[in-house]
Amino acid sequence: AQKVTQAQTEISVVEKEDVTLDCVYETRDTTYYLFWYKQPPSGELVFLIRRNSFDEQNEISGRYSWNFQKSTSSFNFTITASQVVDSAVYFCALSEAMTEEGAQKLVFGQGTRLTINP
């Protein structure tokens, strides 16, 4: 069975600090996809990144970066120079092989509540 673990329930840092959110996953599939979503207080899940199991390149998008390591089944997310607007709940998710139209099912971690204090 697929499982995603986000061991950090809550993280609180001061603005401009760097922060890393951990994500560890379990799957027996050889082809799978990993996601990060952000959930602000409004409730909507905002897509941040998708990574497939064959692409272990790290990715950087502005202040956001992701480190995917198959050897440790981890897909960690780092925010550099955090800002108050980054405060939200962040979810890591895993899906089995996608159909042409997208993932059929996402398995989510429990989420990490990130608070950035001014």
Partner 1 sequence: KAGVTQTPRYLIKTRGQQVTLSCSPISGHRSVSWYQQTPGQGLQFLFEYFSETQRNKGNFPGRFSGRQFSNSRSEMNVSTLELGDSALYLCASSLDKSYGYTFGSGTRLTVV
Under 8 Å between Cβ of 75 and 67: yes
Q: How far is the CB of 37 from partner 1 (least distance, A)?
A: 7
Select 12 or 110, whichever has its Cβ closest to partner 1: 110
Q: How far is the CB of 67 from partner 1 (least distance, A)?
A: 19
Select 4 or 79, whichever has its Cβ closest to partner 1: 4
63 alpha-carbon distance from chain centroid: 14
Select 21 or 82, whichever has its Cβ closest to partner 1: 21
The residue among 3, 63, 7, 50 whose CA lies nearest residue 28 is 3
Handedness of CA 72, 1, 55, 17 (dihedral sign): negative
Binding site for partner 1 (CB under 8 A): 33, 35, 37, 42-47, 50, 91, 93, 98-111
Q: How far is the CB of 15 from partner 1 (least distance, A)?
A: 27
